[in-house]
Amino acid sequence: MIPQDKRLLGGVAAAVLVAAAGGFTVARCTSDTRAPTGAASATPDRDAKEAPPSDSLAMTATAIKDAGILTDTISPGGLGAEIVAQATIVPSPTGEAIVTARAGGAVTRIFKRLGDPVRAGEALAVVESRDAAQIAADRTAAAAKATLAQRSLARERYLYDQKVSARVDLEQAQAEAASAAAEARRAQVAAGAANITRDGRGVIVASPIAGRVTSMNVSLGAFVQPETELFRVADPRLIQIEAAVGAADAARLTAGDRAIVELPDGRTAAARVRAITPTLNGETRAATAVLDVTGTGLQPGLAVRVRMMPLRGETTSAIVVPEEAVQSVNGRDVVFVRTADGFRARPVTTGQRSAGRIEISSGLSGGQVIATKNAFLLKAELGKGAGEEE
């Protein structure tokens, strides 16, 4: 029994060894089979990381507008070819009117409120005044005297023709009629200037121009003095820009020089230099350049920045762009140039900077359209695309 048990144990041990050897062989084959697959997949990943990211971004015109990205056409000139100055949009001399009361009295009616549109000659308020009543009475009395003088002149002329009265009486009647007519005209002009109401009890406060009420300093029932400012009316279409420039820059400017107005929201408007004051301001020691601007939506009182391009400027081949247009991508300065499908990051070499502007000495050419505002959004989108490729 003992030798037989030994043979049984030996058979079991041999079976275990065979099974172990078979398992090892299967595992090795499996490992050998998977290894090439892993090596093959590692190669494309390494190549993908080493591949340079694309410098182009596909964007539709609608997407560019929704993102608030503004573009501009560039031209050579350099910083010496433009003058950057702070300016203010103000009403033109014919675009704003101060409306006053022509006689003292109490405000009995108010027809317009702040911001209301106004036509030229339209009534804004009525001031009831004793002065107005006196002016109306003088007008009526002068008209009556003129009528009486004309009748007297007609009677004297008839008597003279009938050889009843002397010529001196006719001449006296002619002089009195002329004097009465002159007084009637004076009273009529005074009443018209005061804008007397039909009933003669008050004066009408009317706007001399069309526009909107921008200031209102009157209350119903309040007593106002003559020539007191009650309203201010402005026409937003009649505006101009006043820019403060130094003495050296003022000497370079001439009427007709082109200018660009940069608004706080990033928009721009074209303008022209109309005149430059010949003297300097006593406080700022700066001259004032007056610019005529084209376009709508410019509000008087708004502070803006203007770039004036004098014909006598020092032009160079360098191109000047806003500092915001230059972005740093992978350690290099780039500018995003507009393409048919979107934008392309163009490496550039920058030069000197001044007043938020920077010179591009190489990398761009005149006539190209670049992103000037919110260019950092394009940089972020370009970096996101590179990250997705990795």
- The DSSP secondary structure of 310-376, one letter per residue, reads -TTS---S-EEEEGGGEEEETTEEEEEEE-SSEEEEEE-EEEEEETTEEEEEES--TT-EEEEESHH
The CA distance from 316 to 293, in Å, is 27
Ordered per-residue pLDDT tens for the chain, 390 residues: 444 444 433 443 444 333 334 443 333 333 343 434 443 333 444 444 444 446 888 888 888 888 888 888 887 776 667 888 889 999 888 889 999 988 889 999 999 999 999 999 999 999 998 888 888 899 999 999 999 999 999 999 999 898 888 899 999 999 999 999 999 999 999 888 888 888 888 899 999 999 999 999 999 999 998 888 999 999 888 899 999 988 888 888 889 998 989 888 778 888 999 999 988 888 888 899 999 987 667 888 889 989 888 886 666 667 888 888 899 888 888 999 999 889 988 898 887 776 677 878 888 888 889 988 888 888 888 877 655 544
Exposure class string for 127-154: b at 16+ Cβ within 10 A, else e: bbbebbbebbebbeebbebbeebeebbe
For residue 110, what pLDDT is reported?
Answer: 95
| CB 271 within 8 Å of CB 241 | yes
CA dihedral of residues 263, 265, 269, 273 (deg, nearest 10): 0
CB-CB contact of 258 with 291 (8 Å): no
> What CA–CA distance (Å, rounded) separates 174 from 176?
6
Coil, strand, or helix at residue 291?
strand
DSSP string, 154-204: HHHHHHHHTT-S-HHHHHHHHHHHHHHHHHHHHHHHHHHHHTB-TTSSEEE
The torsion angles phi and psi of 230, rounded to 5 degrees, stand at -110, -40
Identity of residue 77? G
> Which amino acid, 233?
V
CB within 8 A of 96, min separation 6: which ones? 209, 211, 214, 232, 233, 234, 235, 238, 300
Give the SS3 label for residue 253.
coil
CA distance 191 to 223: 21
Q: What is the pLDDT of residue 385?
A: 60
| Rounded (5°) CA angle 314-264-262 | 25
